[in-house]
Amino acid sequence: MEMSNHIKTALKVETIIDLDTLYDRAFNVLKEAVHNGSKNFGLATGGTMLPLYERIRNSELDFTQCESVNLDEYVGLPKAHPESYISFMKQQLFNEKPFKKSNLPNGEAQDPHEEAARYEALLQKMKLDFQLLGIGENGHIGFNEPGTAFDSETHVVELEESTRIANARFFNSLDEVPTKAITMGISSIMRAEQILLIAVGEKKRTALEALLKGEVTEEIPVTILKKHPNVTVLTDLVI
């Protein structure tokens, strides 16, 4: 489904070359949301989030009255594996900054499709105040790979080879990178009241360029954000 290039977009783009300053700004956007009463947070994993979670760990922010939902989880990777997203979140955030309740898809579920349905039902009941997003080199958000329908709900995805290669840096070899994941759908992401997208590093240039200059197309999932009323984009890339 292609749409016109000439849509009005409310994207707030802030280009900040210095990464320390960029992540300080990211922290402040989140802090403001907490102070403004946001209670339900959509969280992301990945290298992009590390400096932000470090700032949160070292802050006074308190999430004990808040609930979190993560975007995605690998299928078939034991929860205790250091690269499972539940392990990542515990290590980077939850051990030091616990939420009243934290939700991730269960990658060990016997039936991943049933698990996706359970997660979707949970999301449908929830008003997501704030969603944190990284961006894939191919323009994915969550693990919604190119070609995913904009009205998609939580589902099981076959990871693109390029995504597995990009994530292989966290594993001993490419073979160890799972081939499937459960991801929140694009429609759930779009229901969030406020979105903060962080895109840093040259590898994200093509995807970011598509968001800022291209048309809205399911071939580049991130482009849907043009149609969201409250997205802040923080980037070190001059586009």
Q: Within 10 A of 213 (CB to CB), how many other CB atoms are there?
A: 10
Confirm whether 145 is a catalytic residue.
Answer: yes
Q: Count the residues of the shown chain that bind ligand F6R, applying the rule CB under 6 A.
A: 14
State both tokens at 164: 């597995």
DSSP state letter for 217: B
Please pick, among 72, 73, 115, 218, the residue that the annotation labels catalytic.
72
Those residues with Cβ within 8 angstroms of residue 201's Cβ, 6 or more apart along the chain or in another chain: 236, 237
Tell me whether residue 67 is one of the annotated catalytic residues: no
Alpha helices in the chain (DSSP H): 19-35, 50-57, 85-89, 112-124, 161-167, 186-191, 205-213
Residue nearest to ligand F6R (CB): 134
38/48 with CB nearer ligand F6R: 48
Tokens 């995605």 belong to which residue? 72
CA 172 to chain CA centroid, Å, is: 24
Type of residue found at 22: L
Q: Is there a contact between 14 and 235 (Cβ–Cβ < 8 Å)?
A: yes
Positions in 63-82 near ligand F6R (CB under 6 A): 71-72
Applying the rule CB under 6 A, the residues between 2 and 61 that interact with ligand F6R are: 44-48
Residue 140 is among the residues annotated as catalytic for this protein: yes
Part in contact with ligand F6R (CB under 6 A); list of ranges 9-17, 108-116, 118-126, 138-146: 138-146
The residue among 36 and 209 lying less far from ligand F6R, judged by its C-beta, is: 209
Q: Which of 73, 108, 145, 218 is catalytic?
A: 145
Q: Is 96 a catalytic residue?
A: no
141 near ligand F6R (CB under 6 A): yes
Residues that bind ligand F6R (CB under 6 A): 44-48, 71-72, 134-136, 140-143
Which residues are known catalytic residues? 72, 138, 140, 145
